Amino acid sequence: MKSAVTVLVTISVGILFSGCSLVQRAMPGSTMSNAEILGLLNTIDHSEIDAGQLALQKGSTPEVRSFASRMVSEHEMMMQNLGRLAHRLSVQPQKPALASTMADTHRDTMETLGTKSGSDFDKAYIAYQVKMHEQAVDLVGDVIGSVENQDLKLHLRQTKPDLQNHLVSAQSIERQVVAQQ
User: Interior CA angle at 154 toward 148 and 159, to 5°?
Assistant: 125
Looking at residue 130, which CATH number applies to its domain?
Answer: 1.20.1260.10
**pLDDT averaged over 10-residue windows placed end to end, the chain, 181 residues:** 43 45 44 92 96 97 96 97 96 92 94 96 96 95 92 95 97 87 64
Give the contacts of 68 (CB within 8 A, at least 6 positions apart): 51, 52, 53, 54, 55, 56, 59, 125
Within 10 Å of residue 128's Cβ, how many Cβ atoms?
24
Domain boundaries, position 43: 2-179
pLDDT at 171: 97
Domain count for the chain: 1
DSSP 29: G
DSSP 134: H
pLDDT at 31: 75
